[in-house]
Structure 1
Amino acid sequence: MTAPAPSRFPYAKGSDGTRRLGYGADYNPEQWPREVWEEDVRLMREAGVNTVSLAIFSWAGLQPTADSWDFGWLDEIMDLLHAHGVGVDLATATASPPPWLTTAHPEILPVTATGETLWPGARQHWRPTSPVFRAHALRLVRELATRYAGHPALVAWHVNNELGCHNVYDHSDDAARAFRAWLRRRYTTLDALNDAWGTAFWSQRYSDWDQILPPRLAASHPNPTQQLDFKRFSSDALKDHLRAERELLRELTPGVPVTTNFMVMSGTKGMDYADWAGEVDFVANDHYVLPGPHDRDELSFSANLTSGISGHRPWFLMEHSTGAVNWQPVNLPKKPGELARDSLLHVAHGADAVCFFQWRQSRAGAEKYHSAMVPHAGEDSELFRSVVGLGRTLERLAPLAGSEREPARVAVLFDWDSWWAAELDSHPTSRLDYHREALDWYTALLGLGIRADVVPAHGTDLSGYDVVVAPVLHVVPQPLAKELIRYAENGGHLVTTYFSAIVDENDHVHLGGYPGPLRDLLGIRIEEFGPLLDGDTVGLDGPLSAVTGSLWTDRISVDGPDVEVLARYRTGSYAARPAVTRRTTGGGSAAYVSTRLGAEGLTALLPALLAPAGVTSELPEEARGSVEHVVRRDASHRYDFLVNRTDAPVTVPGTTGEVLIGPMPTETGIVLPPREVAVLRRPAE
Structure 2
Amino acid sequence: MINSKKSKIWYGGDYNPDQWEKEVWDEDLRMFKLSGIDVATLNVFGWSKNQPDEDTYDFGWLDEMMDKLHADGVGVCLATSTAAHPAWMARKYPDVLQVDFYGRKRKFGGRHNSCPNSPTFRKYSVRMAEKLAERYKDHPALLIWHINNEYGGAGNCYCDNCEAAFREWLKERYGTLEAVNRAWNTGFWGHIFHSWEDIVLPSGLSEEWYGANGRTETNFQGISLDYMRFHSDSLLECYKLEYEAVKKHTPDIPVTTNLMGAFKKLDYHKWAKALDVVSWDSYPRFDTPHSYTGMMHDLMRGLKEGQPFMLMEQTPSQQNWQPYNSLKRPGVMRLWSYQAVARGADTVMFFQLRRSIGACEKYHGAVIEHVGHEHTRVFRECAQLGAELQKLGDTIIDAKFQAKVAIVFDWENWWAIEMSSGPTIDLRYVDEAHKYYKALYELGIAADVVSVEADLSSYDLVIAPVMYMVKQGVANKLEQYVQAGGSLISTFFSGIVNESDLVTVGGYPGELRKLFGIWAEEIDALLPTQRNRMIVSAGTNGMKEEYECGLLCDLIHSEGAEVKAVYGDDFYQGMPALTVNKFGEGEAWYLATSPEQAFIKDWLSQLCSSRGIQPIIQNVPEGVETTIRYKDKQQYLFVLNHNDQAVQIDLAQVTGTDLLTDRSLTGGEVELAAHDVMIIKLS
Fold conserved between structures, TM > 0.5? yes
Secondary structure at the residue paired with 1:155? strand
Q: What secondary structure does 1:249 align onto?
A: helix
* Cα shift readout 1:323-353 (whole Å, capped 9, x = no counterpart): 2111111111112221011111111111111
Residue 191 of structure 1, aligned match among 178, 191, 209: 178
| Paired letter, 1:381 | T
Query: Does 1:83 find its partner at 2:82?
Result: no
Partner of 2:435: 440
Amino acid of the structure 2 residue aligned with 1:433: R
Q: Report the alpha carbon displacement of residue 10 of structure 1 after superposing the two structures with TM.
A: 2.0
Q: Distance in 1 between matches of 2:226 and 2:596?
A: 31
Distance 1:222 1:338, change over 3 A: same
Conserved? CA contact 2:567–2:573, under 8 Å: yes
User: How does 1:493-532 map onto structure 2 within 5 Å?
Assistant: 493-532=487-526
Q: Secondary structure at the match of 2:251?
A: coil
What does 1:207-222 align with in structure 2 at a 5 Å threshold? 207-217=194-204, 218=206, 221-222=218-219
What do residues 554-579 of structure 1 show as CA deviations (whole Å, max 9, x unaligned)? Answer: 1111111xx23222211234222111
* Cα pair 2:13 2:40 within 8 Å, conserved: yes
Gap change, CA 1:104 and 1:527, over 3 Å in 2: same
Aligned to 2:675: 675
Give 2:558's aligned residue. 558
1:333 to 327, 332, 343: 327
User: 2 CA distance for matches of 1:400 and 1:312?
Assistant: 18
The residue number in structure 1 matching 2:147 is 159
**How many Å apart are 1:56 and its aligned residue?**
0.3
Contact in 2 for aligned 1:288/1:321 (Cα 8 Å): yes
Three-state SS of the structure 1 residue aligned to 2:601 is helix
The equivalent position to 2:336 in structure 1, one of 338, 342, 352, is 342
Deviation per CA, 1:106-155, whole angstroms, max 9, x where unpaired? 22111122112333221111011111111111222222122112111111
Match of 2:348 in 1: 354
Q: 1:46 to 1:642 in 2, by over 3 A?
A: same
Other structure's SS at 2:659 match: strand
CA offset at residue 625 of structure 1? 4.3
* Counterpart position of 1:68: 56
Query: For residue 609 of structure 1, what is the amino acid of its counterpart?
Result: L
CA distances 1:277-321 after superposition (whole Å, capped 9, x unpaired): 1212211111110354x5321111010111111221121111111
Question: Which residue is 1:472 aligned to?
Answer: 466
Provide the rounded CA distance (Å) in 1 between the counterparts of 2:341 and 2:445: 19
Q: Matched residues in 2 for 1:598 and 1:49: separation?
A: 45
In structure 2, C-alpha distance between the alignment counterparts of 1:493 and 1:202, rounded to whole Å: 43
- Is there any run of 5+ residues in structure 1 with no aligned partner, and where? 1-7, 14-18
2:532 corresponds to 1:533: no
Q: CA RMSD in A?
A: 1.7
Contact 1:446 / 1:625 at 8 angstroms: preserved in 2?
Answer: no
- Which residue does 1:4 correspond to in 2? none
Cα distance in 2 for partners of 1:521, 1:449 equals: 30
The one-letter amino acid paired with 1:196 is A
* In structure 2, distance between residues paired with 1:467 and 1:439: 16
State the alpha-carbon separation in 2 of the partners of residues 248 and 676 from structure 1.
44
* 3-state SS of paired residue (1:541): strand
Cα distance change on mapping 1:173 and 1:506 into 2, 3 Å? same
Contact 2:655 2:667 in 1 (8 A): no
Q: Is the 8 A contact 2:207 2:220 kept in 1?
A: no
Tell me if structure 1 keeps the 8 A contact 2:656–2:664. no
Structure 2 runs not aligned, ≥5 long: 209-217, 537-542
3-state SS, counterpart of residue 551 of structure 1: strand
The corresponding residue for 1:101 is 89
- Contact 1:12–1:51 at 8 Å: present in 2 too? no
- Which residue number corresponds to residue 391 of structure 2? 396
SS of the residue aligned with 2:655? coil
Indicate conservation of the 8 Å contact 1:447/1:624, yes or no: no
Q: Which amino acid aligns with 1:392?
A: A
Q: Deviations over 1:227-267 (max 9, x none)?
A: 111111111111101110011111122232211111114xx
Say which is worse superposed, 583-592 or 363-372, in terms of deviation: 583-592
Q: In the alignment, which of 589, 592, 597 is matched to residue 591 of structure 1?
A: 589
Residues 535 and 545, structure 2, Cα contact 8 Å, conserved in 1: yes
Greater mean deviation of Cα atoms: 395-404 or 519-528: 395-404
Verify the 8 A CA contact 1:469 1:494 in the aligned structure 2. yes
> Residue 532 and residue 49 in structure 1: after superposition, are their counterparts in 2 closer, same or farther (change >3 A)?
same
Per-residue deviation, residues 614-650 of structure 1 (Å, max 9, x unmatched): 32323122x1643222111121421111122333323
Matched, 1:276 2:275: no
The residue aligned with 1:113 is 101
Q: 2:251 aligns with which of 245, 250, 254?
A: 254
Instruction: Show the 5 A alignment for 1:314-329.
Output: 314-329=308-323
Distance 2:598 2:308 in 1: 32
Q: Which moved more, 1:528-537 or 1:657-666?
A: 657-666
8 A Cα contact 1:92 1:159, kept in partner? yes
- TM-score of the superposition, structure 2-length normalised? 0.94
SS where residue 671 of structure 1 aligns? Answer: strand
1:5 aligns with none
Instruction: State the partner residue of 1:659.
Output: 658
SS across alignment from 2:520:
strand
The amino acid that maps onto 2:327 is P
* Alpha-carbon contact 1:617-1:624 (below 8 Å) kept: no
Q: Which residue of 2 aligns with 1:3?
A: none
Whether the aligned pair in 2 keeps the contact of 1:341 and 1:675 (CA below 8 Å) is yes
Give the distance between the partners of 1:457 and 1:544, measured in 2 at CA.
Answer: 33
Q: 1:559 to 1:625 in 2, by over 3 A?
A: farther
Retained in 1: the 8 A contact 2:76–2:144?
yes
Which SS does the other structure have where 2:49 is aligned? helix
Q: Which amino acid aligns with 1:645?
A: H
Aligned AA (2:644) = D
> Are residue 182 (structure 1) and residue 169 (structure 2) matched?
yes
Counterpart mapping for 1:595-614 below 5 A: 595-614=593-612
Q: 1:478, 1:517 within 8 Å by CA — same for their partners in 2?
A: no
Q: Which moved more, 1:98-107 or 1:53-62?
A: 98-107
Of 307-316 and 486-495, the range deviating more from structure 2? 307-316
AA partner of residue 634 (structure 1): K
Match of 2:379 in 1: 384
Aligned position for 2:644: 647
Report the residue type matching 2:8 in the other structure: R
Q: What is the letter of the counterpart of residue 658 of structure 1?
A: T
Distance 2:394 2:449 in 1: 25
Change over 3 Å in CA distance of 1:396–1:572 after alignment to 2: farther
What is the CA-CA distance between 1:440 and the residue it aligns to? 1.1
Structure 2 letter corresponding to 1:176: E
**Residue in structure 1 matched with residue 549 of structure 2 by the alignment:** 549
Q: Give the superposition deviation at 1:207.
A: 0.6
Aligned to 2:403: 408
Distance, in Å, in 2 between the alignment partners of 1:236 and 1:172 is 16
Cα deviation code 1:455-479 (max 9, x no counterpart): 1121x11011000011112111241
Residues 88-118 of structure 1: CA deviation (Å, up to 9, x unaligned): 1111111101111111122211112211233
- Deviation per CA, 1:483-518, whole angstroms, max 9, x where unpaired? 111111110000011111211111111111111111
> How far, CA to CA, are the matches of 2:508 and 2:140 in structure 1?
60
Q: Distance in 2 between matches of 1:219 and 1:137?
A: 32
Per the alignment, residue 431 of structure 1 pairs with: 426
Distance 1:118 1:545 in 2: 59
How far apart, in 2, do the equivalents of 1:400 and 1:559 lie? 53
Counterpart CA distance in 2 for 1:397 and 1:546 is 49
Measured in 1, the distance between the counterparts of 2:458 and 2:488 equals 13
The change in CA–CA distance for 1:558 and 1:611 in structure 2 (over 3 A counts) is farther
Shift of 1:612: 4.1
Q: In structure 2, what is the Cα distance between the partners aligned to 1:327 and 1:364?
A: 14
Q: Select 1:32's aligned residue among 16, 20, 35.
A: 20
> Does residue 201 of the first structure (1) align with residue 188 of the second (2)?
yes
